[in-house]
Structure formats: C-alpha cells, structure tokens
Amino acid sequence: MNKFLTLLIVLTGLYCQSTFALDIEVKNGVVRAPIPGMANTVGYMELTNNSNDNIILTSAKSAVADRVEVHDHIMNDGVMKMVKLDSLTITANETKRFQTGGLHLMFIGLDHKEAMKKTIDVTFIFQDGSEQVVTFNVKSIHQHHH
C-alpha cells in the first residue's frame, strides 16, 4: 500500500511538471482603474517562464472587457506607437515586464461596473491550449495615456 501511494505521488508530481501553464508565474499584476467615460484601460505585470522551453501566449480574456489584447510600443519615425501582438513568446526562464511605454495588456470595451472592483481576473491562453487565471489588483495609475 505504501509503495502504491508513493508511486501515485510521484506520478502526480510528474503530471504537474508537464502541465504547461504551471510553468508561467505572474507577479505584480495591476490594472489601471478605469476613468469614467473611457472604454479602455491597461494592465501591467511581470510574466516569468520558469520552464526550460519557450512558452507562447496566444490570447487573454476577462469578464470585465469585450477584448483583452497584448500590446507593445514601437518607435515609428520618432513617434511611439502602440501595436497589437498576435502572440508573445516568453523564452525559457525569461521574464517579460509589462510596463508603461512598453508591453501592456489592453482591456477594450470595459464593463465599468465590473472593472471598478478591487480585483480583476484575467485568463491567459497559451499555444498548447492550456489556460491560466491570474488575479490583477485594480489601482489608479496616472502617467499612462491612451
């Protein structure tokens, strides 16, 4: 019986390690408190790939917005421009920092009643079909313009 239990625990451990989404760790997830009358807001976080394989984020969604997109800023003729990324590759053991003027989550078509809560759940969807739900804190952030 003991041997069987040990085997079960080992097998469970192996199963967890091979589950893709658990290799992704999100820290300091923050969503800018929506400004009245604005349909969009932004989110920032640190996204770490703890695995030895590349992980590709293909989309994100949240109940508080019609769409959640991954955006980046690029320099175009000396002007900072926002671009939508169709996917984001986080290489093995890399941390992607979502921050002002760089990568960010864009919440489009906000449900203000929902988005004014203290936290917002965001579901990240990866290329292997796995999903991971991350809770973001809602905070007032003033310096970002959209």
Q: Which residues bind Cu ion (CB under 5 A)?
A: 71, 82, 106
Can you read off the two tokens belonging to residue 135?
């809770």
Contact between 83 and 69 under an 8 Å Cβ cutoff? The reply is no
Residues in the chain: 146
Distances (CA, A) of 65 to 124, 126, 133, 137, 141: 14, 19, 15, 15, 18
Q: How far is the CB of 115 from Cu ion (least distance, A)?
A: 16
Nearer to Cu ion (CB atom), residue 74 or residue 92: 74
- Name the nearest CA neighbour of 61 among 105, 118, 103: 105
Nearer to Cu ion (CB atom), residue 61 or residue 71: 71
Nearer to Cu ion (CB atom), residue 7 or residue 83: 83
Nearer to Cu ion (CB atom), residue 23 or residue 122: 122
Contact between 80 and 95 under an 8 Å Cβ cutoff? The reply is no
Q: How far is the CB of 19 from Cu ion (least distance, A)?
A: 30
> Shortest Cβ contact with Cu ion: which residue?
71
Q: How far is the CB of 116 from Cu ion (least distance, A)?
A: 20
Q: How far is the CB of 106 from Cu ion (least distance, A)?
A: 4
